[in-house]
Amino acid sequence: MSNDIFDHDDLPYAITLDPGSSLHNHTGSWRTMKPVYQRRLPPCNDACPAGENIQGWLFHAEAGNYEAAWRVLTRDNPMPAVMGRVCYHPCENACNRAGLDESVAIHAVERFLGTLALKQGWKTEPEMPSTGKRVLIVGAGPSGLSCAHHLAHMGHDVTIREAGPMAGGMMRFGIPKYRLPRDILDGEIQRILDLGVTLELNTKVDDIEAAFKDDGFDAVFVAVGAHLAKRIDIPAHAAGKILDAASVLHDMETGKEPPQLGRRVIVYGGGNTAMDVARTAKRLGAEEAMIVYRRSRKEMPAHDFEATEAEEEGVLIHWLRTIKQIDETTFTVEKMEIGEDGRPRPTGEFETLEADTLILALGQDADTGFLTRVAGVEVARDGVVGVNDQMMTGRAGLFAGGDMVPSERTVTVAVGHGKQAARNIDAWLNGETYQHPPRPKLAGFESLNTWYYDDAHQSVQPELNIIRRQTSFDEVLGDLDEGNALLEARRCMSCGNCFECDNCYGVCPDNAVKKLGPGKGFQFNYDFCKGCGLCAAECPCGAIDMVTETI
């Protein structure tokens, strides 16, 4: 046997094929390597901004134990039916399964579980007895609601004060109904309130110190969403109708008369809100809905599937264009090009577009001016609030999260902030500092034995036909049925963690693997183990390492 086959990665196989070789691992006290079970961090869990134990709940889902899966899921995220619809699922971008065929449709299974929970009326109960501590949450958006859920489970008395007439924040006022039906949103909000959380609507908080001193709150979490639309100055001799996207989507929700947009609409911007408001304009009857964006599709902040869905519905996107002047219904736009520095630059070439209405979708800021009156709180010019590693501002007991702190502005990030804030608030109320547990080593694709997995492409969610998509606010994407949800959950490869497939038990030539019982995994009996490495070589999920033996 040639020595050159003994590359580190091939060592277990060479040993197995030629047990009589003089190069075979020694046995007993002469064993040089021994197998050790590991628990690694799955890349999906690592990529989830809400910190979900995705692999943990998929384990129950693939066994058909949907309620158990939902309960594991809601330990981290109290709104899975919402999240499965609006999250941009970075977990799927990280999924190792994509290296084999396609990533697991995690969002679709999460959505299935969340919708099923609403239909079945599954509830959660506070896990800890009452602490007697009172916490005020300012803002009933995703971050505030998430924080309330977790604090209530910790036994704290929680009150949410919301300036608007309905809870939900940008989930309600920034995401159209065709992406997030309101019965789904309302159902998951109500389940949080059923934990004993008090919700006070139409109650604007202007005085933080009064909340501490007069109202007797022990801690305050501020999670005010970004509702203030950014503006831009465009020369206009006689401007027509100019609206902002945030106001259009807000008015659609509050029951006001739908805005009269006219036959042709231009949306200025390239983010997800721009895509949403352009698709909304089509549903409101606009014959032409156009998006003007100064960069290319590659640089747009919107997710690519959002642009694709908008184009499918007839939205025309003018890439590399910027509006230079408005004259009633005539818009002069300049063509742009991407420079070597990656930034758009003017070309000096112009063209004109005709539209009855311009909708600005240039981003939003958080209205955090009321915090400038609180000693110690740092508020930047754009309204972003400074917090430390514990999410606490410069004022002791005042925490902040969601759109108003430096971070990506998505529902999933906001939900994750709510959970983190709750943990830090709970620790602070107990005179402690929350310490995140150490992170295990990431489970990489190279550690998997993918030959154990059959090719099984991602399940496809049903989709509303294009005519109804253009003419109604009915939900565009549908749920997986139970059969597809089960199949999709079973596509999970349990990266880095034992799922008790019995491979190590079955292939060990020395009976050195001991079964501990369902759900308890296995144990090595090193008195029998020769260190051949066959168990590690045959572990599908890379949950066994061969480590140097120490005597």
Q: Report the alpha-carbon distance of residue 159 to residue 193 in Å, rounded.
A: 10
pLDDT per residue over 358-407, tens digit each?
999 988 878 888 899 999 999 888 788 999 999 999 999 999 999 888 78
Nearest CA to 317 out of 358, 266, 355 is that of 266
How confident is the prediction for the chain on average, in pLDDT?
Answer: 89
pLDDT per residue over 55-66, tens digit each?
999 999 999 999
Query: Does 201 have pLDDT greater than 60?
Result: yes
What angle separates helix 106-120 from helix 482-489, to the nearest 10 degrees?
Answer: 130
The SS3 assignment for 311 reads helix
Instruction: Output the pLDDT for position 15.
Output: 26
Instruction: Output the pLDDT for position 12.
Output: 28
When pLDDT is cut at 50, 70 and 90, the band that residue 2 belongs to is very low
Q: Percent of the chain beyond pLDDT 90? A: 75
Q: Report the alpha-carbon distance of residue 326 to residue 303 in Å, rounded.
A: 29
Nearest CA to 12 out of 542, 454, 474, 550 is that of 542
Retrieve residue 382's tokens.
Answer: 């754009």
Query: Does 5 have pLDDT greater than 60?
Result: no
Instruction: Output the pLDDT for position 9.
Output: 29
Instruction: Output the pLDDT for position 16.
Output: 31
pTM: 0.89
Instruction: Output the pLDDT for position 551.
Output: 64
Instruction: Output the pLDDT for position 253.
Output: 87
Instruction: Output the pLDDT for position 71.
Output: 97
Q: Report the alpha-carbon distance of residue 51 to residue 496 in Å, rounded.
A: 17
When pLDDT is cut at 50, 70 and 90, the band that residue 452 belongs to is confident
Nearest CA to 36 out of 509, 549, 545 is that of 545
| One-letter amino acid for residue 176 of the chain | P
When pLDDT is cut at 50, 70 and 90, the band that residue 342 belongs to is confident
Of 46-55, 356-365, 491-500, the least confident: 356-365
Cβ-based neighbours of 150, under 8 Å, separated by 6 or more: 78, 418, 419, 422, 423
Instruction: Output the pLDDT for position 238.
Output: 65
Instruction: Output the pLDDT for position 255.
Output: 74
Longest dimension (CA), the chain: 91
Q: How far is CA 182 from CA 77, 120, 154, 188, 468, in A?
A: 18, 18, 28, 10, 18
Cβ-based neighbours of 334, under 8 Å, separated by 6 or more: 321, 322, 324, 346, 347, 348, 349, 350
Retrieve residue 455's tokens.
Answer: 């090719």
What would the mean pLDDT of 320-325 be, rounded to a whole number? 94
Give residue for tokens 């144990």: 523
pLDDT per residue over 167-177, tens digit each?
999 999 999 99
Residue 341: burial class (beta carbons within 10 Å; 0-12, 13-18, 19+): exposed
What would the mean pLDDT of 185-204 be, rounded to a whole number? 97
Retrieve residue 302's tokens.
Answer: 């919107």
Instruction: Output the pLDDT for position 35.
Output: 94
Retrieve residue 203's tokens.
Answer: 């109650």
Query: Does 497 have pLDDT greater than 60?
Result: yes
Query: Does 508 have pLDDT greater than 60?
Result: yes
When pLDDT is cut at 50, 70 and 90, the band that residue 11 belongs to is very low
In this structure, are residues 416 and 49 in contact, taking their beta carbons and an 8 Å threshold?
yes
In this structure, are residues 447 and 539 in contact, taking their beta carbons and an 8 Å threshold?
no
- When comparing pLDDT for 233 and 424, which is higher? 424
Q: Report the alpha-carbon distance of residue 405 to residue 383 in Å, rounded.
A: 9
Q: Give the domains, in start order, of the chain with CATH numbers.
A: 43-122+451-489 (1.10.1060.10), 134-227+366-429 (3.50.50.60), 229-363 (3.50.50.60), 498-551 (3.30.70.20)
Instruction: Output the pLDDT for position 395.
Output: 95
Query: Does 239 have pLDDT greater than 90?
Result: no
Give residue for tokens 């609030």: 385
In this structure, are residues 74 and 91 in contact, taking their beta carbons and an 8 Å threshold?
no
Instruction: Output the pLDDT for position 232.
Output: 79
Q: Report the alpha-carbon distance of residue 78 to residue 72 in Å, rounded.
A: 10
Nearest CA to 190 out of 151, 225, 140, 227 is that of 140
Q: Report the alpha-carbon distance of residue 58 to residue 81 in Å, rounded.
A: 15
DSSP character for 479?
Answer: P
In this structure, are residues 225 and 366 in contact, taking their beta carbons and an 8 Å threshold?
yes
Cβ-based neighbours of 548, under 8 Å, separated by 6 or more: 32, 33
Q: Report the alpha-carbon distance of residue 365 to residue 176 in Å, rounded.
A: 20
The SS3 assignment for 300 reads coil
Q: Report the alpha-carbon distance of residue 339 to residue 337 in Å, rounded.
A: 6
Q: Percent of the chain beyond pLDDT 70? A: 94
